[in-house]
Chains A and B, each alone.
Chain A
Amino acid sequence: MKELYNQLFQKHKTEDNTSLTYMDSLQRDIAIGSWEVNLQTDTVIWSAMTKTIHEVEQDYQPNVKEGVNFFLEGYNRDLISLLFARAVNDQQSYDREFQLKTAKNNIKWVRIVAYPVIEDNKTKKVIGVLQDITEKNNTLNELKLKEELIRTTFEHAPNGMALVSLSGEIITLNKTFCDYLGYTTEELIGCKINKLSHPGDIDIIPANIKNLIDGVSDKFECEKRYIKKDGSYINCILSISILRNENNQPIHFISHLIDITERKVAHKEVETLLTTTKSQNEKLLNFAHIVSHNLRSHSGNLEMLLDIMKTDLPECTENEFFPLIEEAVNNLSETISNLNEVSIINSKESKDLKAVNLLKTTHTALANFKASIIATDAKINISIDSNIYVLVIPAYLDSILFNLISNSIKYKRPDATPVINISAQQTTDFIKITVSDNGLGIDLDLHKNKIFGLYKTFHKHQEARGLGLYITKNQVEAMNGKINVSSKPNEGTTFTIHLKHEAH
């Protein structure tokens, strides 16, 4: 380096124009510049390449202070100051790498070699060279980073990974791999990987491995069981790829393991659950059929027999039992027909949904209550945009609105004029329909779980059947919607229904 410097620098000093250009071009080609600090005259000379590396104009006149300031503040600047002082005072040369910031604010890595020039035991000058090593350093750093990345990925991967020699020994493996099988790293390194295989699965590998080595495929995946140290086994997805050198010669395998034991167990559970649900659904359908057919025929027969008795034996209707029996039979028939309504809702499918104008449907529903609205002096406020369409089974929406409005009128407070507000809002996924009243209200603390239940009534009303809200909820849910209620005794009740709109 010293010789090189001398050559470069001596020529530089001759101020022979031809050589200077030659030397400059040589410097440029190897990205090395030269510099000199004359301590006696306190002047600094930079060669053209030195200036280029600093990204300053060629007519730039450097001085010591400015020269030092090019180095990154802190470690780099402190170190160069220290080394330069040592060169001056202790006549020590140095060869170090630094980071500097150029005049154009680019950060560069440079290597600096410096020698003191001594005359009469005194340092007269410090001379040296400056080499731009940014690219080399960047490449090195990138490589280091990549290595680090791969190493970290390998070590901390949530899946088991192992490097396996062509003859099947484990070269290295990560912690997850060890954890999967319950061994320590030391126990597994050097071990034949197929010894860990479940005996039943040992045949999967060889043929596929041959394909990998022959280059027929570069990766293969399979489901495979491995035996743990404690003798139990785990289900894994194994994926093997092959690593080749630059001559395309296989060097080793990379085995990638994912433990799917839990997933398998969960899958089985889901399957069992599905089977149970299916069979229960079938039972329910059967039950619905029993209700629909068998019970109906019995209650039908009873009705028919009573009918005939009435005409054939009119005197028996005077018996005090007769009206009671007749009432019991009628109640039975009604209950069965209610159950039928419910079972039919549950067997309907959501594919029958149609887009229906909500405002129109609401008006139609209200038309049923003309008489009771006049009789109770009820005030109905509707706030529904005429452009709102809901995706419903039309008969269900009719029935839902009918039930809710009917409840609001039926369960009005005796001391207040009924006010019923019906409104709708469109959200991204749903149409939110709100039906609220100022009626009797329901104590939800007491009845929260029962409000949508079958045969639950909360008020003494002659027409209360405990069926309306049960059917309403079933209908809403059959159309993939949801229904909520909020209520306070003696203040009123608000039902909120979410139904899909046309776009969904």
Chain B
Amino acid sequence: MKHIDTTCLIDDDRIFIFAAKRILKATNFCNNFTIYNNGAEALTGLRDIIKSGNNIPDLILLDLNMPIMDGWQFLDEFVKIENSKKTTLYIVSSSIDPADSEKAKQYEQITDFIVKPITKDALTEIVNTINTK
């Protein structure tokens, strides 16, 4: 299994973060997590990481509906960051609005669109995708 240093979770939902961390840990996929509660926080945090010369997280799970700066606004800024293509990014959202999944297809950076609730199977799928990359 390919080793993943850090997974970045961008979501304002505490319960989701708790559960996602738990499941990811259970699969022995990754033990380090960077958590941001909205797009703006994530953008600042990720910029700081790059500035300090550290590696950008290998996997980002991005929620869409968040306060202050939502997922789409975050993406529009994030794609401008150098090295942004080095990470694997998934949208993980409760939205079943077809407009959202259509929009997701327009971003090269988005690997896939996962509808919540996230299950163990879905996470295993993500892990497999990254491993075959």
Contacts and interface: CB of A to CB of B under 8 A. Distances in A.
The interface residues of chain A, by DSSP majority, are classed as helix
Contacts of B96: 292, 296, 340
A308 B94 contact: no
B97 A297 contact: no
Contacts of B97: 289, 292-293
Contact of A308 (B22, B65, B116): B22
Interface of B: 13, 15-16, 19, 22-23, 26, 65, 94-97, 116-120
A305 B19 contact: yes
Interface in A67-116: none
B67 to A, nearest CB: 13
Given A293-B65, A296-B116, A297-B116, A304 B16 contact: yes
Contact of B19 (A294, A299, A304, A340): A304
Contacts of A312: 22, 26
Given A293-B65, A297-B13, A312-B22, A304 B95 contact: no
A91 B114 CA distance: 121
9 closest A-B pairs by beta carbon, nearest first, are: A300-B117, A297-B94, A301-B15, A300-B116, A296-B94, A304-B19, A304-B117, A303-B117, A293-B94
Contacts of A297: 13, 16, 94, 116
Given A297-B116, A312-B26, 11 more contacts: A292-B94, A296-B96, A297-B13, A301-B19, A304-B116, A304-B119, A307-B19, A307-B120, A308-B22, A308-B23, A340-B96
Nearest to B117: A300
9 contacts: A292-B96, A296-B116, A301-B16, A303-B117, A304-B118, A305-B15, A308-B23, A311-B26, A312-B26
Contacts of A303: 117
Interface in A300-335: 300-301, 303-305, 307-308, 311-312
Contacts of A340: 96
Nearest to B120: A307
Interface of A: 289, 292-294, 296-297, 299-301, 303-305, 307-308, 311-312, 340
Q: Is the interface of B mostly helix, strand, loop or mixed?
A: loop
Nearest to B23: A308
Contacts of B95: 292-293
A307 B119 CA distance: 8
Interface centre among A289, A299, A308 (most CB of B within 10 A): A308
A12 B119 CA distance: 127
A306 B13 CA distance: 17
B70 to A, nearest CB: 12
Contacts of A289: 97
Contacts of B15: 301, 304-305
Contacts of B119: 304, 307
A300 to B, nearest CB: 3
Nearest to B14: A301
Contacts of A296: 94, 96, 116
A281 B47 CA distance: 42
Contacts of B26: 308, 311-312
A308 B16 CA distance: 11
A218 B26 CA distance: 90
A30 B17 CA distance: 116
B126 to A, nearest CB: 15
Contacts of B94: 292-294, 296-297, 300
- Most chain A CB within 10 A, of B117, B118, B119, B120, is at B117
Nearest to A347: B97
A291 to B, nearest CB: 10
A287 B54 CA distance: 44
